[in-house]
A and B are shown apart, each in its own frame.
Chain A
């Protein structure tokens, strides 16, 4: 069924009895051309583009829980293309362009809202750095506007402009940045893949990867053995465990990132605001909740919940930036497991095992990357060649020194 206004009208008039589940629930077949481990955003997008761009449809996505139950349904949904380094810049630029056509392509409302993102700066040095970043974004063909303090005040009148510690000097305005509905992105890709014949298999945990003479031959799962010529590991925070099934040790450490949402309020924050110095960012969901977060809890963890010092730090930063949010009641907080690489950039690459591919290391920024990651991972799996915009996301870059350290903080897991 194609979704459109006419369907809504028709279904509404006939008691809404004609809507069907968005994807099938098939049993696993014994054999596939390719298997994708992990039914998060990246796994589902990979399956979708394998089918759509490369005509590979005898494939399966194996998900240990339910589709969209991982980080894809836990993030704060910010979508942007304001990266600086060659290697990152063209990739995220490609991703944003895919976002801009995603709803039409998937025939699915992912509520992509380009409400504009403003990154605040608080010193002359930071202004220079943001001017440089803005130029890099323009050179990449994306948009960036450098705002002064009074320009920011016009757009965001509710910030505290008298703050002594981090006075607001201005902001870098990325108008095409914004948010999207995270679950809908997973569901839209799932439906699109399913319609093209991909088997989406839930409650199917991969417990082993079979390798024969340096070549992958299939996987062991809680729903039996499945053979495949190509296997992709796309499991975000669990990358180290799944890679270990094939005897690999990855440059990844898993950390928690927390997020928070208030009770629903009338529209008050129209943009995405990022207060880097305070490690705080915020936007307002279409339901009205203020959605915000901060930094990692900063220690290795697999608990999908954080500790209170992290909560305290985010609340303090929020109050420092916009004292008015002290009036809002916090409704919920949660955490997700982040696959942190030493340089903070991702990996889309082959592994030393033939037919085994890795898409991982998305750290805290993998939601905006979902379309391009799926696109490039599908390209890699279908052609065995890296896609031009993802060619720097190599697994061996730490050994060779070709790092992609976007923040310039160093190549250690505890620094990003």
Chain B
């Protein structure tokens, strides 16, 4: 599997560290109720098919939001987190 880094282009999967689903982009406000934090930290849609998740490109230090298919492993997009919010 190769992933897209917005800085470096298509790169080998071994250069990336996986973080998790793009739920991590939706951090609750600090005084949000505990349920909101539970959703953010633990509960997942866990899609079979089209998915967006966060990866770190180790060599250049960019956090990337990858769009890919969890069944075929086809990767279609890689965006900076700032642009993916």
Binding site for B on A (CB under 8 A): 238, 240-241, 244, 249-254, 298-303, 307, 309, 342, 398-399, 411-414
Taken together as a complex, chains A and B put the C-alpha atoms of A273 and B42 apart, in Å, by: 33
Chain B, 29-42, contact with A by CB distance < 8 Å: what is the 0/1 string?
A: 00000110011011
Q: Please indicate the chain B residues that have their CB under 8 angstroms from the CB of A412 in the complex.
A: 20, 41
Shortest A1–chain B CB gap in Å is 41
B14 within 8 A of A: yes
Q: Please indicate the chain B residues that have their CB under 8 angstroms from the CB of A254 in the complex.
A: 46, 48, 70
Taken together as a complex, chains A and B put the C-alpha atoms of A399 and B71 apart, in Å, by: 30
Taken together as a complex, chains A and B put the C-alpha atoms of A412 and B43 apart, in Å, by: 10
Do B1 and A240 touch across chains, with their CB atoms under 8 A apart? Answer: no
Taken together as a complex, chains A and B put the C-alpha atoms of A301 and B49 apart, in Å, by: 9
Binding site for A on B (CB under 8 A): 1, 12-14, 18-21, 34-35, 38-39, 41-46, 48-49, 51, 53, 55, 70-73
Do A411 and B71 touch across chains, with their CB atoms under 8 A apart? Answer: no
Q: Please indicate the chain B residues that have their CB under 8 angstroms from the CB of A413 in the complex.
A: 20, 44
Q: Is chain A's binding surface mostly helix, strand, loop or mixed? A: mixed
Q: A253-B20, A301-B71, A303-B72 are in contact. List 4 more A-B contacts (CB 8 A).
A: A252-B46, A299-B55, A303-B70, A399-B42
Query: A398 and B38 in contact (CB under 8 A), knowing A300-B51, A301-B73, A307-B1?
Result: yes
Taken together as a complex, chains A and B put the C-alpha atoms of A214 and B12 apart, in Å, by: 48
Query: A302 and B71 in contact (CB under 8 A), knowing A250-B44, A412-B20, A414-B18?
Result: yes
Shortest B38–chain A CB gap in Å is 4
Query: A251 and B48 in contact (CB under 8 A), knowing A299-B18, A302-B70?
Result: no
Do B71 and A249 touch across chains, with their CB atoms under 8 A apart? Answer: no
Do A298 and B18 touch across chains, with their CB atoms under 8 A apart? Answer: yes
Shortest A405–chain B CB gap in Å is 13
Do A399 and B44 touch across chains, with their CB atoms under 8 A apart? Answer: no
Q: Please indicate the chain B residues that have their CB under 8 angstroms from the CB of A398 in the complex.
A: 38, 41-43
Q: Please indicate the chain B residues that have their CB under 8 angstroms from the CB of A298 in the complex.
A: 18
Q: Which of B21, B43, B49, B53 is the one whose CB lies under 8 Å from A250?
A: B43
Taken together as a complex, chains A and B put the C-alpha atoms of A244 and B46 apart, in Å, by: 10
Do A249 and B73 touch across chains, with their CB atoms under 8 A apart? Answer: no
Q: Please indicate the chain B residues that have their CB under 8 angstroms from the CB of A249 in the complex.
A: 39, 43-45
The 9 tightest CB contacts between A and B, nearest first, are: A240-B46, A251-B42, A398-B42, A399-B38, A299-B18, A302-B48, A249-B43, A302-B71, A309-B14
Q: Please indicate the chain B residues that have their CB under 8 angstroms from the CB of A253 in the complex.
A: 20-21, 44, 46
A and B contact pairs by CB, cutoff 8 A, 21 listed: A240-B46, A244-B45, A249-B39, A249-B45, A250-B44, A253-B20, A253-B44, A254-B46, A254-B70, A298-B18, A300-B51, A303-B71, A303-B73, A307-B13, A307-B73, A342-B41, A342-B42, A399-B42, A411-B42, A413-B20, A414-B20
Shortest B5–chain A CB gap in Å is 15
Taken together as a complex, chains A and B put the C-alpha atoms of A238 and B34 apart, in Å, by: 27
Do B19 and A240 touch across chains, with their CB atoms under 8 A apart? Answer: no
Q: Which of A299, A300, A411 is the one whose CB lies under 8 Å from B41?
A: A411
Taken together as a complex, chains A and B put the C-alpha atoms of A241 and B55 apart, in Å, by: 24
Determine the residue in chain A with the shortest Cβ distance to B44: A253
Shortest A358–chain B CB gap in Å is 13
Taken together as a complex, chains A and B put the C-alpha atoms of A78 and B20 apart, in Å, by: 28
